[in-house]
Structure 1
């Protein structure tokens, strides 16, 4: 796998992580079977893709980028879907996570 494909797959893994977190919320403590099954499938998907990308990308960078995508995306969807607060502190936190992702992506391996 080329590094370019690995970065794309890492981005997809991050998006699956976001979808997994939302599905877990809708699963309501794994009491709703459909959402629970979806959350397990999303979990399997992002773990598989993350593992594949680690054959090419540095583990520290890949893991940090993946968690950054997950944290940022989940925070934004929490605001949008669940009415979580949006205030200057949260905006600053999201901006810092995004800045960290960019810096790690641009840093030499």
Structure 2
């Protein structure tokens, strides 16, 4: 169950990263509020997951999931570059997340 909670926390990290971008430096209310709410939910879920998971593994999977999610969302939703020079390292991070999770058991 902690792994599922951790992955959901990573998805909320993706949400807050996108909301932060869309807040335009906290000058837009809606995205700014979404940023705060998503960040609180993400941190709360991370804290819950870390009750059962090692901190290094949990934090790495959380940040990696958020980073990969934000990068993919940026490509799909915001028109960020989908060049191979970006996709390859994003894929390597994703492989690292899975590898770390499998190594932890």
TM-score by length of 1: 0.92
* 5+ long unaligned stretches in structure 1: none
Aligned to 1:48: 44
* 5+ long unaligned stretches in structure 2: none
Shift of 1:108: 3.8
Aligned to 2:78: 82
Q: How many residues align?
A: 105
Q: Which runs of 4+ in 1 moved over 2 A?
A: none
TM-score by length of 2: 0.95
Please report the RMSD computed on the Cα atoms of aligned residues, expressed in angstroms.
Answer: 1.0
SS in 1 for 2:10: helix
